[in-house]
Each structure stands twice: as structure tokens, then as C-alpha cells.
Amino acid sequence: MTNSEHLPLHGRTALVTGVSRRRGIGYAIAARLAGLGADLFIHHHRAHDTGQPWGGDDLDEVRAGLRAALRPGAAFGDLGLDLAGPDAPERLIAAARDLTGSLHVLVCNHARSGGDGSLLDMTAEKLDGHWSVNTRSTLLLTSHFARVFSGSEEAPAARPGDRRALSGPLDEHATGRVFWTTSGQIHGPMAGEVAYAASKAALAGLTATAAAELLPLGIVLNTIDPGPVNTGYLDPGSTDRDPAVIGQVLAATPFGRFGHPSDPARLVGWLASDEGRWVIGQVITTDGGFSLGVGR
């Protein structure tokens, strides 16, 4: 079996953001990409988790677990950073590129949770806090990634309606990958999470535009809605939600369980490989049928 078959991401460097906890989606995605042969750079911001009901994790254990998932000889790096800072995305992309000198995959898994509310008690601070982390930093990370991947430091000026023309057929085996993450606001209301839902809805709504702008540069972008994945926030001892409601929702899920972090990780791993190269500009839900309302 060749490296391309057994390790389809061999020779590619991946940056995964929001990898602070071993139970998190970011950790599962990073481990999946590492197992597929990628060199790996992760971003974490433990201070965010320590302020949540589920708490923070031991970053040394996070690093050790991901190093163990790497192929022999693969490179690994990490950086702790608050992505709310305006210059943080550029710093992170530069650090990830320096790991191997190139960057091929970007997974924007990070998100701000907590400090939210309903429309009636919304404030500018709540909206700006979620926007800066969930939306603005994702767009800037993608912009800086595109410059690094394409080798184009100067972005051409663009007017509304301008589209970058393809210079010729793309090498479909050499395309970069970008993944954004959205949430359940595309399927129904998220009561009490207006700032979070707004920041994630912006990414889902912008997916087609961003994908169209990136494709001429040889970059494939898709957005993932992982559905309700239990990363600890649905456990009885560490949830910020009504346990009775959690039980009702769980009983109505088609497979009798919430998602595991490995569920969206498998999808991202497939899309990051050559096998997924024909899927472009889509908002993809991977939730085990939860959004269909089966059993409710």
C-alpha cells in the first residue's frame, strides 16, 4: 500500500484551532488528521475553558495524545492565543507555516461559548465578543491562510460583483482545504444564544461567497455543522442546560445518543483527503439525523 493510500495527508501540514480539551471536537479532528499522515499544528486557549462549567484540560496531556497519533517523523507544534485579538489570526498562521514551511489545511474549530443571552437582554459587548472570536477571526485566518497557500501577499482590489478568473484547470490533487464550523441555527431556533447563533450564522451565510473567491487560488472551502456533540457540556455534572430538557432531547435522537467528537472528525478527515476534493462550498450537517426531528 502506498503512502497516498495509507496516509493520504502525508506531506501536508494542517492547522486546527480550538484544540484545548481531549473531549473536544478540535482534538478529535486533529487526531484524525494526524492519523491520516499530516504534520500538525494546533491552537488552544485554555483560559476560555476554565471559565466554563466543563473546565479546562491538561495541555501537556493534550499535546502528548496528539503526538502519539502522528505518523513517525511527523512534525508537531502548538500555540496558545486569544483569537479575539485583531492581530492574532496573522500570528497564528505565521506560526503554523513555520512548522514545515508550508500550510495546506486550515480547520477553524474554535468558538466562544457562554456570556450569551436572548434578544431582549442582548448588549453590544455580547455581540462584539462572539463576533470577534467566532466570525472575524475565522475570516482573517482564512484570508492569511489563502495568502500563504497561494504565495500571493498582495490581494487584488475588488468591487461588488468582481470574480477572479481561473487561469486554467486546477491541479485537483494539490488543492488546499479550509473548514469553517457553524451550528444548529440553520435548522431551528437557539433560544438564549443570540450572539453565538448570529456569529455562526454569518459563516454559514458566507460559505458560498468565500468558496467562490478561494477556488481560483486552488483552495476548497466547506462549512461543517456538527450537530449536538457531547464534549462535556451535556454531562449532568458539567452542563449549563436544564437536565430535564437534555434528557428529552436525548430520548428523541434517532440513535439514542448525542454525537461523539469522532463523528464530525471522520467527515473532516475524508473531505481533507483527495477523496473529498469534489465537495466545494457546501454547508454540511453531520448530526445522525437530529435535525430531521425524528422521534420528536
For the annotated catalytic residues, the residue numbers are 196
Which residues 6+ apart lie within 8 Å of 99 measured at CB? 13, 39, 41, 75, 76, 77
For residues 149 and 105, the answer to whether their CB atoms sit within 8 Å is no
79: enclosing H helix or E strand: strand 76-80
Residue 284 φ/ψ, nearest 5 degrees:
-110, 125
Rg of the chain over Cα atoms, rounded to whole angstroms, equals 19
The SS3 of residue 221 is strand
Single-letter code of the amino acid located at 83? L
Alpha-helical regions (H) of the chain: 3-6, 25-35, 46-50, 59-69, 88-100, 124-130, 137-150, 194-214, 243-252, 262-272
